[in-house]
Amino acid sequence: MEDPCLLDLNYLMSMGCELDFCSMKLKVQGRCSVFVELPYSSGDSQPQKVAWWTPSRGLAPTFLLPLFPDKFYRLAKDPRLLVAHVPKSVFITKVVDDPDTPGGKRVITLSPRITLLETVSEAMNFTYDYVTPADRAWGVEQLDGSWTGMIGMLIREEVDISLGLFDMTPARAKVVDFTFPVDIMYNRMIVGRGKPEVNPWSFLLPLGPRVWAALLTALVVVLAVMTIFPSCLQTQACHRTGLMVKASSCVRVLLQQDVSPDRTWWVWERVVLGVWMLTTVVLTRSYAGNLVSLLAIRYIPMPIQSLRDVIDNPITFLMQKGTRQAYTIQTAESGVLRDISNLQNEGRFQTFHVSELMKNLDVKVRRGDHTLTQVEELTKMIMAQDFSVTGKCDFYLAREEFLTSMGAMTGPKDSPLINAVSRRIITVREAGIYDHWINSYTPNMTTCLNPPTTMAVRSSLSLSNIWGTLVVYVAGLAISFHVFCFELIYSHLR
C-alpha cells in the first residue's frame, strides 16, 4: 500500500474502524481497536479488547489476551457444559465431604473415565452437568438415518460432549467428531467357573501318551530279543531255554509279579531281564506316586475360550443392547459373528439393558449356562468387584479377544472443543496416568485374571474317583471271557 493507513475494507470493518469514503482509497481516521468474542459468553457481554492501532504507533497489544488467542484451550468464562453420560453400576462409588453440596456430602464415582473428564475440565476451566439419554444407550443408527442414545444427543446438539469411550467407526465419524483415542478396547467374555470335578480317567494321566507308547515298544523289543536270540543256539539248548516261560516272565515283571529264573537261563537272558526289571520298577514307582497325587486333584472345567466354543456348547450369549458391538454382531453377514447372530433363532443370543448388567452376572453367568461380553477394562473391574465381595474367583475370562477398536470421547460435528480436549488426553495418555487410574481405582484387579484350573482336596475315595478303572476291569473280564469261549470252540473243533 502507498499509505500505511490504507487497509482492506473487510479487515477494517471487522476491526470497527471509521472509514472515509471521499476518495477511492480508504483512510483510517483516528484509532482502531481489535476485539475478540470469547466462547460461551452471555448475550449482554462485551467482546474482549486484545489490541489497538493508530497511524503513529501502529499495532499495540493490550497484553490481556494474545492477538490471536486459542479461545478453547482454556475457557475464560468458566462455562457450565452438558455432558452425555450413561452410568454403570460396575464403577465403585464413595461418599466424600463437600461443604458446597446440600447436606455436606457428595457421592463420587471412582472411574478412570470420570477422572479423565474431571482432569480435562479443570485444565480447560469449565464445570459440567451429566445428561442421560432416555434409552440409556450409547447410540446406533436407525433405518430412517437417525441415531439413538448419546450419539443422537450429540447430533441434535443437546449436549456439548460425551463421556463414554465410543468405538471410532466410519459411520459415527460422519455425524460426530472424536477426540484423540483414550484406549484400545478389546471385547472378551466372562464365563462362570464350573465346580471342581473328578477325572475318572486320571489313572492314565501319570504317564503321557509317548511314555505309554515307549513302554509298550520296550516290552515288544524285550520279547523279540528273548525270542530271536535263542534261535542262534543249538536246538537242544533252545529247547532247554523255554521261550514261552521267558516271554511270560517279561510280562510278569511289568505287572509286578514274581519271577524265578531257573538254571537253564543264559547269562545274557538274566541281564536283559534285569535291565527290563529296573526300567519297570522306576516307571511303576513313578506311576504309583503320581497317581496318588492325581486322585487328590479336582479339575475346574473352563470349556468356553472362544466364540466358536459358544456355538458348539449349550450356552447363551449375553451382550449389552444399544452398543456398536451388539449392532455389529446382529448385522454380520458371514463368519463366526454371523453364527453367533444366528443363535437368536435358538434363544441363545440375548441383549440386556445397562442397568441389568450386575444382575445378569450374578444370576445367569454365575450359574454357568450364560456368558457375558464387555470391553476388557470393564470385565476386569466386574471380576475384581465380585472377588472383593465374595472372596472367590467364580468367573474367568475367555482367551479370545474380538471386535478390537479404539475408544474416544465424542462431541458434535465441527465442535472446537474437541481439539482442546484431545490435547489434554494426549498428555494424560503419554504420561501413563490413565492406566494408573484403571489399576488403582479397582482393588483386586489382577487376582482372578489367571485362576488355577486344579485344586487339591483331602477326602476318601469314592466310585466317582475310580469308576474308570472299573470300566477297564469289566472290559478286561469281557474280553477274557470271549477269548475263553473261542479257545473252547477251537479245542473242540481240533
What pLDDT does 91 receive?
Answer: 62
Average pLDDT in the 222-240 region? 64
| 3-state per-residue secondary structure call for 42-88 | CCCCCCEEEEEEECCCEEEECCCCCCCCCCCCCCCCCCEEEEECCCC
User: Nearest to residue 442, comparing CAs of 385, 480, 373?
Assistant: 385
Confidence of residue 457 (pLDDT cuts 50, 70, 90): low
What pLDDT does 13 receive?
Answer: 44
Whether the pLDDT of residue 70 is over 50: the answer is: yes
| Contacts within 8 Å (CB) and 24+ apart, 154-158 | 154/84, 154/410, 154/411, 154/412, 155/412, 155/413, 157/412, 158/82, 158/84, 158/131
Please report, for residues 21, 84, 90, 165, 383, the alpha-carbon distance to residue 93 in angstroms, rounded to integers and kept in the order given: 68, 19, 9, 20, 16
Q: Rounded distance, CA 131 to CA 452, Å? A: 43
Q: Report the run of H or E that residue 372 belongs to, with start and end.
A: strand 370-375
**DSSP states along 228-294:** HGGGGS-HHHHHHH-HHHHHHHHHHHHTT------TT--HHHHHHHHHHHHHHHHHHHHHHHHHHHH
What pLDDT does 10 receive?
Answer: 43
Specify the DSSP class assigned to residue 362: I
Place of cell 465381595: 389
Confidence of residue 12 (pLDDT cuts 50, 70, 90): very low
CB 172 within 8 A of CB 151: yes
Q: Rounded distance, CA 288 to CA 388, Å? A: 40
366-424 pLDDT, tens digit each: 888 899 998 888 888 888 888 888 888 889 999 999 988 888 999 999 898 999 999 99
Half-sphere exposure in the Cβ direction for 309 (13 Å, CA): 13
Q: Report the run of H or E that residue 174 belongs to, with start and end.
A: none
Q: Rounded distance, CA 329 to CA 338, Å? A: 7
What pLDDT does 230 receive?
Answer: 67
User: Nearest to residue 176, comparing CAs of 202, 150, 198?
Assistant: 150
Question: What percent of the chain is predicted at pLDDT more than 90?
Answer: 17
29-67 pLDDT, tens digit each: 567 888 888 888 776 777 878 887 888 777 778 777 777
This prediction's pTM: 0.60
Whether the pLDDT of residue 83 is over 50: the answer is: yes
Cell of 377: 477394562
Q: Three-class SS of residue 144?
A: coil
| Mean pLDDT for the chain overall | 79
Confidence of residue 6 (pLDDT cuts 50, 70, 90): very low
Residue 226: partners with Cβ closer than 8 Å, 6 or more residues away: 243, 246, 247, 250, 269, 272
| Pairing of β 80-84 and β 127-131 | parallel
Q: Report the run of H or E that residue 489 belongs to, with start and end.
A: helix 463-493
CB 127 within 8 A of CB 81: yes
Q: Report the run of H or E that residue 298 belongs to, with start and end.
A: strand 297-299
What pLDDT does 215 receive?
Answer: 83
Place of cell 477394562: 377
278-319 pLDDT, tens digit each: 888 888 888 877 777 777 777 778 888 999 999 999 999 999
CB 296 within 8 A of CB 454: no
Whether the pLDDT of residue 8 is over 50: the answer is: no
What pLDDT does 423 receive?
Answer: 92
Average pLDDT in the 89-110 region? 65
Q: Rounded distance, CA 175 to CA 151, Å? A: 8
Confidence of residue 89 (pLDDT cuts 50, 70, 90): low
Average pLDDT in the 153-166 region? 90
Better-predicted residue by pLDDT, 9 or 419: 419
Confidence of residue 24 (pLDDT cuts 50, 70, 90): very low
Q: Rounded distance, CA 2 to CA 10, Å? A: 18
Whether the pLDDT of residue 192 is over 70: the answer is: yes
Confidence of residue 263 (pLDDT cuts 50, 70, 90): low
Q: CA 40, 42, 47 angle in degrees (round to 5)?
A: 85
Question: What percent of the chain is predicted at pLDDT more than 70?
Answer: 82
